[in-house]
Every structure is written in C-alpha cells, then in structure tokens.
Amino acid sequence: MSEKLTEESLLITKGRFSNVVNKIELEDFEINLLLQAVLFRYGYDFHHYARASITRRINNCMRKTGLSNISEMIAKILHDVDFFELFLKEMSVTVTEMFRDPEVFNTLRQQVFTQLKTYSRVNIWHAGCATGEEVYSVAIMLKEEGLLSRCQIYATDFNNHSLTIAEKAIYPAEKMAEFTHNYILSGGKASFADYYQAKHQHAKMHSSLKEHITFANHNLMKDQSFAKMHLIICRNVLIYFDQVLQNQVLKVFQQSLLHRGYLLLGDKESLDFSDQSKNFLCIAKKQKIYQKINYD
Amino acid sequence: MIEQMTTHQTKKEGYTALVIGVSAGGLAALELFLPQLPKLFSLAIIVLQHRGQNSVKSIEDNDEDFLVDYFKARCTMPVLEATMGDKIKTGHIYIAPVQYHLLIEQQQTFSFSLEPPVNYARPSIDVLFESASHCYKNQLIGLILTGASSDGSQGLKMIKLNGGLTIVQEPSTAEASFMPTAAIASHKVDYILPLKDISTFLINFTLKDQGDD
Ligand SMILES: C[S@@+](CC[C@H](N)C(=O)[O-])C[C@H]1O[C@@H](n2cnc3c(N)ncnc32)[C@H](O)[C@@H]1O
C-alpha cells in the first residue's frame, strides 16, 4: 500500500540529495527537537503530554505567531524568552466554566463536604485551576455549607496569564446566565447573583470568596507536594498527559492527601489504569470522586 | 538514483481502522449500516456523531450513554464508548462521547481535549480525523455521512494526503447533503456511495484487502 502515499504528503528531492520524507514524519521530527529545546532552555518537559493534542496546539501556536514551520519556532524558543511565555500560554488549554457538570458539584457537596465538616481546619488544593471559575464555584459551595471560614484553598496552575485572571475574579457578564443555570442544577442554596457584582460587561466575584484562596504557580510536571490536603480537585488536566506523567502527578496527589482525603478528577479521567488505583476507593464512579485509603 | 526507503513506508498490512464522521440525520444513517457489519469485521471503527448543539450541553446530551446503548442493542460488533488510554482494538465500534474533542494517539489509544469547538463542533470530526490520520497513515479509511456542517472536510482530505482511503455518502441519499457535498469538494475522494451500499462495499473491500497480500 505504500505506493498509495500521495505526492502531496511527501517531500521529494531529486538528484544528489535524493530522498523521500513523509511530511508527518518531518513534523514529528521537528516537534521532538522543539520539545527538547524547551526542556534544555527552560526545564519544562512536555515529552509526557498526550502527543496528538500537543501537536495540534503547537501547530495552532505556529499559525497564530505567523511562523511558517516548527523549526522557526525552535529558534524563537531558544533565543526569545518572551516568546516562550507566549508558547506556554498556547500550550495550556484554559477552557473552563463555573459548576461545569453540575451533578459533580452536587455530589461533592453531599458526600464530601459533609465529611469535611468534621475537621476544624480544611486544606483544599485546586490543581490546574486555569482562570479560576471552578475555584470560585467551590468557594461558593463551601460558603453555603458554612465551611469556607475554616478552609485554606490553594489554587494553582502553571499558566501565569490564567492565574492573573483568576486572581482578578472578573468574568464576562454574558457568561453569568449559563453559570447561574449550572449553579441551580448543582444544588445552589441561595441566589447566584448574590455572589457577584455586575458592572458594564463585567461581573466581579465577591471579595469574601477570595479571602480563603491563595493563587500560586505550580507546575505539575516538576513541582512537588507542598502541604497536607483534605481535598484535591484536579479536573481536565490529566487528559493532556500521557500515562507516565499521569502516574507521576497522581503520586504527588496521593502523597499530599491526608488519610481519608478526597480526590476529584474530570469527567474523562479515572484511576482505573493508574498505579494509584490500589491506594484509593472510588466513592462516586460517575462523578470521579476518590478517597485515599492506604497509609504510606 | 538512490531510493532510500524511509521507515514510514509501512509494508502492506491492509487497513486497520475506519473513522466515521456524521452530523444531522446521523442516527438513521448509522442505524442503516453499522448493524450490517459482521461480528468479525476486520477494522476498528470510531464513530463521531455530532450531538445536541455541538459544544453546548443540551437535553439529549444528558443521557450520554444513549448512542452506545442504542447501537449495542443493534450491532453484532461490540460497541463501547471511547475512553482515555483505551487501546483501540479491531473488530470493535467506539463511540465518541460528547463535550470533549476525541483524538487518537500514536500508540492507537484515545485522548481527549477541551480546546474550544472547531467548526462550531466539539467533538470535531476534523480533530479526530487529523489525529487518526497521523496515527494510522495509509491504514485508515475515512467516511463522511449526512450532516449540515462543513466539519470533517479538512480531516478527510488529510486522510487522503497520508495515503488513506476516503469515502463519502452520495449527497442525494443523505438527509442533510451539506457535509458530504463539502467533503467531496475538498479533494478527490476515492468512493462516493449511496448509503444503502456502504456496508456491503466495506465488507467486500476489507475481505479483498486482506486477501491480496
Ligand atoms: C482545561 S483546563 C481545566 C480547568 C478546570 N479545572 C476545569 O476543568 O474546568 C486545564 C488547565 O491545566 C493546566 N495545566 C496543564 N499542564 C499543567 C502543568 N504541567 N502544571 C499545572 N497546570 C497545568 C492548564 O494551564 C489549564 O489551565
């Protein structure tokens, strides 16, 4: 079937340098070099990101920045620190919303928060918080359950640009209708409008929600555990990692959790194929809520 | 002239996977042809059916397992929802879940992404087809059925460029002809077939493909 490879998919050189190279292979080769350059220059190891989606994002980044091939990007990465900032931003998928999957928040409230009430101080780590919508959702629920005042929430991401937005807590007013809808479905007990102030096109989340949140840069590729947690929320981050990095990150979570601490993952994520499955009990399969069971 | 064979020129092993992109009118179209495929069909089939308002959650989407259950009850081939890290096996039908882009990794496993909708769709057929083509190269068959979107055209073209086989439902037999028409306009597709002939074609084609090594 090899003869079916069409001309357009191949780079064919004739004469002295005759060779046939498949464009896909050339791109793979360049991406490998790019990832090596990023690792060498900045210590960020993207080799263990799911390759298909990072390839998409690298190509998007290339088009957005007006470069004509990935090799050009390698030079930029090596010599232009500002470009790397932009690259990092492009590598992170920041799409998020408040109370995404409302039934997850409902279950969290009913099965986990009721347990957290037995502690006098509660530490929560929100890893990969992006622009913060999910963190504020959790803070709202904690407040309604009378828990917020005893909580310390660490909200982390490796994308500084997103963290700045998260800290500002200002979102487009047009999103509030959808967020309100999600809030109600998630079992919200008050009126969502009480939690923000709308001004022009913007909605600013109430500052009382922020008092117990610390935003910080934390890179799951290389940074370690930093405190003991009662609950870790990490949704829609592991989907971007390969099995090796997933296992590595889950180990950090396992080490960070107190005995009987909780772990909440995203809709498409699970511990099923991970090294950590033996250390956790699944307490809500559909909602992806796990509880740590083994001492270590 | 020294013709250096590069590693990509996989020796002939036949086709291993079939990706199907379908939108409006898809349920009826799929129902006409997926159940016809025999239990020991030699390809892995990955079906992406646009649902609801694509990216936005809608009522139908609430029952996420609906399509899987629906075809499980009707097909002789095993039907599963595509899950992260799942090794894609021939002889199985995988259904793309809602809300996330579905991609195929080099190791023939599934991965997901929450990137914004592409062609107003998430999951997007282009995203799936492009990653599938990257993985399976000339061992991939791409099929576009009925739909009122231009999603899939670019992906199908990519499959063709990488040596795969492309098939489009004859637009006049489609409930919504826009998507097949757009796919046909994107490149010279290999086969344009009426819906009712697609299953027979695939069965005969895969048998022949395995036969002549
Ligand atoms: C799709 S968002 C998830 C947002 C939110 N948790 C949700 O589910 O709506 C993925 C986030 O993971 C972050 N991320 C990706 N790789 C990371 C890493 N190595 N360390 C920390 N955060 C990372 C991205 O920057 C991005 O903000």
Q: For A60-86, how does the pLDDT look when each residue is reduced to its tens digit (9 = 90+)?
A: 999 999 999 999 999 999 999 999 999
Residue B59 scores a pLDDT above 70: no
Output the CA A135–ligand 1 centroid distance in Å: 12
> Does A280 fall in a domain?
yes
Q: Which residues pair with B20 in a beta bridge?
A: B47, B143
Greater model confidence, A256 or B64: A256
Query: Annotated catalytic sites of B, by residue?
Result: 23, 50, 151
Is B164 inside a domain boundary? yes
Nearest ligand 1 atom to the CA of B114 is 1
In-domain check, residue A139? yes
* Chosen from A7, A8, A9 to mutate, greatest number of chain B CBs within 10 A: A9
Are the C-beta atoms of residues B78 and B91 closer than 8 Å to each other?
yes
Q: Is residue B150 part of a domain?
A: yes
Residue B65 makes CB contacts below 8 A (sequence gap 6+) with B81
Please name which of A273, A285, A270 lies closest in space to residue A236, comparing C-alpha atoms. A270
Task: Report whether A151 contacts A144 (CB < 8 A).
Answer: no
Candidates A202, A200, A197, A199; CA nearest to A175 is A202
pLDDT surpassing 70 at residue A1: no
Share of chain B above pLDDT 70, in %: 86
Beta-strand pair A229-234/A257-265:
parallel
Least confident stretch, A28-37, A123-132, B31-40, B47-56: B47-56
Asked whether residue A1 is assigned to any structural domain, the reply reads no
Q: Tell me, yes or no, whether A156 and A176 share the same domain.
A: yes
Q: Judge whether A97 lies within some domain.
A: no
Full domain range(s) for residue B26: 16-211
Say how far apart CA B121 and CA B55 lie, in whole Å.
Answer: 6
pLDDT given for residue A9 in this prediction? 67
| Nearest residue by C-alpha to atom 24 in ligand 1 | A92
Domain CATH number, residue B175: 3.40.50.180
Look up tokens 């010599």; give the residue: A79
- State both tokens at A177: 């209708």
Contact residues on chain A for B3, CB-CB shorter than 8 A: 18, 20
* A205-211 contacts at long range (C-beta below 8 A, 24 or more positions apart): A205/A136, A205/A169, A205/A170, A205/A171, A207/A169, A208/A143, A209/A136, A209/A139, A209/A140, A209/A143, A209/A148, A209/A169, A210/A139, A210/A167, A210/A169
Q: Are A52 and B104 a contacting pair, CB within 8 Å?
A: yes
H or E element, residue A182? helix A176-185
| B208 SS3 class | helix
Smallest Cβ–Cβ distance between A273 and the set B85, B139, B163 belongs to B85
| Distance between A22 CA and the closest CA of chain B, angstroms | 7
> Does the structure show a pLDDT above 50 at B11?
no
Same domain, A117 and A86: no
Residues A115 and A257 in one domain: yes
pLDDT score of A2 more than 90: no
Q: What is the ipTM of this complex?
A: 0.90
* Nearest residue of chain A to residue B116 (CA atoms): A95
Distances (CA, A) of B66 to A29, A44, B62, B176, B184: 41, 41, 9, 22, 30
Asked whether residue B61 carries a pLDDT value surpassing 60, the answer given is: no
Query: What is the rounded CA–CA span in Å between residue A68 and residue B134?
Result: 20
Tell me the C-alpha distance between B87 and B135, whole Å: 13
Question: Do A117 and A55 sit in the same domain of this protein?
Answer: no
From A56, A91, A126, the end of a domain falls on A91
Confidence of residue A23 (pLDDT cuts 50, 70, 90): confident
Q: Which residues of chain B lie closer than 8 angstroms to A269, CB-CB?
A: 84
Q: What is the pLDDT of residue A227?
A: 97
Domain end marker among A61, A91, A121: A91
Q: Is the minimum CB–CB distance between B115 and chain A shorter than 8 Å?
A: yes
d(CA A259, CA A242): 27
Task: Write out chain A residues lying below 8 Å of B12, CB-based.
Answer: 1-2
Is residue A77 domain-shared with residue A120, that is, in the same domain?
A: no
Q: Would you place residue B195 in the very low, low, confident or very high pLDDT band (cuts 50, 70, 90)? A: very high
3-state secondary structure at position B50: coil
Residues A185 and A276 in one domain: yes
Q: Are residues A87 and A111 in the same domain?
A: no
Contact B7 A25 (CB under 8 A): yes
Cα–Cα distance for residue pair B23/B3, rounded to 1 Å: 44
Q: Say whether both A120 and A162 belong to one domain.
A: yes
Mean pLDDT check: name the lowest of A19-28, B26-35, B111-120.
Answer: A19-28
pLDDT tens across A210-251, in order? 999 999 999 999 999 999 999 999 999 999 999 999 999 999
Of B1, B6, B100, the CB nearest to A268: B100
Residue B130 lies in a domain: yes
Distance CA(A265)–CA(A245), nearest Å, equals 15
Distance (Å, whole) CA A80 – CA A132: 29
* Confidence tier at A20 by pLDDT (50, 70, 90): low
Rounded distance from Cα A253 to ligand 1 centre (Å): 15
Minimal-distance CA residue to ligand 1 atom 7: A96
Task: List the structure tokens of B114.
Answer: 């929450």
Q: What are phi and psi of B154, to 5 degrees?
A: -65, -40
Which of chain B's residues have a Cβ under 8 Å away from the Cβ of A273?
A: 85
For residue B127, pLDDT over 80 is answered with: yes
Distance CA B10, CA A204 (A): 56
Domain count, chain A: 2
Share of chain A above pLDDT 90, in %: 90
Distance (Å) from CA B94 to ligand 1 centroid: 27
Q: Which of B3, B8, B103 sits opposite A25 (nearest CB)?
A: B8
Q: Which domain-ending residue is among A69, A91, A113?
A: A91
Percent of chain A at pLDDT exceeding 70: 93
pLDDT per residue over A82-105, tens digit each? 999 999 999 999 999 999 999 999
Whether A275 and A151 map to the same domain: the answer is yes
What is the residue-wise DSSP string for B7-35?
TTSPPP----EEEEEE-TTHHHHHHHHGG
Asked whether residue B5 is domain-assigned, the answer is no
For residue A278, what pLDDT is reported? 94
What is the pLDDT, as a whole number, of residue A35?
98
Lateral strand order in the sheet of A170-172: A170-172, A202-205, A196-199
**pLDDT exceeds 80 at position A3:** no
**Considering the domain boundaries, does residue B8 fall inside one?**
no
Distances (CA, A) of A27 to A1, A31, B105: 22, 6, 15
Name the residue among B32, B25, B66, B57 with its Cα closest to residue B149: B25
- Rounded to 5°, the CA angle A264-A51-A27 comes to 160
CA angle A239/B162/A67 to nearest 5° reads 65
Separation of CA B81 and ligand 1 centre (Å): 24
Residues 140-199 of B with CB under 8 A from A: 160-163
User: Is B146 within a domain?
Assistant: yes
d(CA A74, CA A35): 9
User: What mean pLDDT value characterizes chain A?
Assistant: 93
pLDDT category of residue A258 using cuts at 50, 70 and 90? very high
Helix (H) or strand (E) holding B133: helix B125-136
Q: Which of B1, B2, B12 is nearest residue A1 as measured by Cβ atoms?
A: B12
**Backbone angle region of B100, left / alpha / beta, with phi > 0 → left and psi within -120 to 50 → alpha:** beta
Across the interface, of B8, B105, B114, the residue whose CB is closest to A50 is B105
Average pLDDT, chain B: 89
Range of the domain at A34: 7-91
| pLDDT the model gives residue B4 | 39
Whether B116 maps to a domain, the answer reads yes
Q: How many beta-carbon pairs below 8 A join chains A and B?
A: 110
Query: How far, in Å, is the centroid of ligand 1 from the Cα of A231?
Result: 17
pTM (2 d.p.): 0.91
What distance in Å separates the CA atoms of residue A35 and residue A28, rounded to the nearest whole number?
Answer: 11
Of residues A286 and B63, which shows the higher confidence score?
A286
Residues with CB under 6 A from ligand 1: A 92-96, 100, 128, 130, 134, 157-159, 162, 219-221, 235-237, 240, 266; B 114
Residue range A150-165: average pLDDT? 97
Closest CA to A99 of A258, A296, A235: A235
Rounded to an integer, the average pLDDT of A50-57 is 96
Domain count, chain B: 1
CA–CA gap between residue B171 and residue A220 (Å, rounded): 48
Hey, of B107, B108, B112, which one would you mutate to test binding to chain A, going by the most A CBs within 10 A of its CB? B112
Across A145-172, average pLDDT = 97
- Look up the CATH number of the domain holding residue A178: 3.40.50.150
Supply the DSSP symbol for A241: B
Residue minimizing CA distance to atom 25 of ligand 1: A92
B100 touches chain A (CB under 8 A): yes
Nearest to A151 by CA among A187, A128, A117: A117
Same domain, A130 and A61: no
Output the CA B129–ligand 1 centroid distance in Å.
25
The answer on A283 and A136 residing in a single domain is yes
Q: What is the average per-residue pLDDT within B136-153?
A: 96
Of the listed ranges A131-140, A187-196, B42-51, B55-64, the one predicted with least confidence: B55-64
Give the pLDDT band (50/70/90) at residue B207.
confident
Q: Is residue B3 part of a domain?
A: no
One domain for residues A75 and A213: no
Amino acid type, B202: L
